[in-house]
């Protein structure tokens, strides 16, 4: 599979719709290849195993389109949110920021799924689905508290460009993500914990 250049030092295998599979991002650090989300396609797992170098996998969250192929992937280390780690036999939980040179992993407050993790590399922030809504009673919704916390985290990080999975184009300015999310947050009502979108 051909890696597509996305950003200096970052390549990607784009998301698929069949089987539904999130984008897989690659960042190389010497002999180490950081892989952000492995997707849900066995062919993708086989291709991943053929990439030379020590693979360190980061899972943005537990949904199958982001990590379904993991059992087939040969990785030296897997990092994931605490909730995702409960579902996996062997993974390192990201419960506080972790730094590896110019890569930082940290928990991301999210309405989309429990235990989301973001990866910052230089000016780029990989969010997976973490900035998307979740489901409440069959409707798309943000949890007000999680959304407020997410806005704080996004404002605090130094990166100015975000990658939101499954999206074209993949890269979007953090300002745009912030103004979109702030617009939803501004509609909050003290009588409800959810913001339907
Ligand atoms: Zn998801």
Six token digits for residue 143: 């949890």
Distance 20 CA to ligand 1 centre (A): 11
Distance 60 CA to ligand 1 centre (A): 9
Number of separate domains in the chain: 1
Is residue 83 assigned to a domain? yes
Distance 36 CA to ligand 1 centre (A): 14
Is residue 30 assigned to a domain? yes
Q: How distant is the alpha carbon of residue 174 from its chain centre?
A: 15
Is residue 193 assigned to a domain? no
CB-CB contact of 143 with 134 (8 Å): yes
Six token digits for residue 114: 């429990």
The DSSP bridge pattern shows strands 194-196 and 139-143 to be: antiparallel
Based on its alpha-carbon atoms, the radius of gyration of the chain, rounded to whole angstroms, reads 16
Distance 112 CA to ligand 1 centre (A): 6
Is residue 127 assigned to a domain? yes
Distance 16 CA to ligand 1 centre (A): 14
Write the CATH number for 141. Answer: 3.60.15.10
Helix, coil or strand: residue 48: helix
Full domain range(s) for residue 81: 4-186
- pLDDT value for 104: 98
Is residue 191 assigned to a domain? no
Global pTM reads: 0.96
Is residue 144 assigned to a domain? yes
Question: How confident is the prediction along the chain (197 residues), in pLDDT tens digits per residue?
Answer: 899 999 999 999 999 998 999 999 999 999 999 999 999 999 999 999 999 999 999 999 999 999 999 999 999 999 999 999 988 877 999 999 999 999 999 999 999 999 999 999 999 999 999 999 999 999 999 999 999 999 999 999 999 999 999 999 999 999 999 999 999 999 999 999 999 99
- pLDDT value for 1: 85
């Amino acid at each position: 599979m051909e890696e597509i250049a996305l950003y200096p030092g970052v390549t990607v295998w784009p998301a698929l719709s069949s089987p539904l599979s999130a984008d897989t991002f690659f960042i190389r650090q010497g002999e180490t290849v950081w892989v952000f989300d492995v997707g849900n396609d066995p062919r993708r797992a086989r291709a991943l195993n053929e990439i030379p170098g020590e693979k360190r996998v980061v899972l943005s969250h537990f949904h199958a389109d982001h990590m379904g192929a993991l059992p087939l992937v040969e990785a030296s280390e897997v990092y994931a949110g605490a909730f995702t780690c409960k579902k996996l036999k062997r993974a390192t939980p990201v419960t506080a920021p972790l730094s590896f040179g110019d890569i930082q992993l940290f928990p991301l407050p999210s309405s989309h799924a429990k235990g989301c993790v973001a990866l910052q590399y230089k000016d780029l922030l990989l969010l997976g689905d973490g900035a998307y809504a979740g489901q409440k009673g069959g409707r798309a919704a943000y949890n007000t508290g999680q959304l407020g916390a997410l806005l704080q985290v996004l404002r605090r990080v130094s990166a100015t460009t975000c990658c939101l999975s499954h999206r074209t184009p993949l890269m979007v300015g953090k300002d745009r993500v912030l103004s979109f999310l702030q617009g939803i947050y501004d509609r909050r009502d003290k009588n409800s914990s959810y913001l339907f979108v």
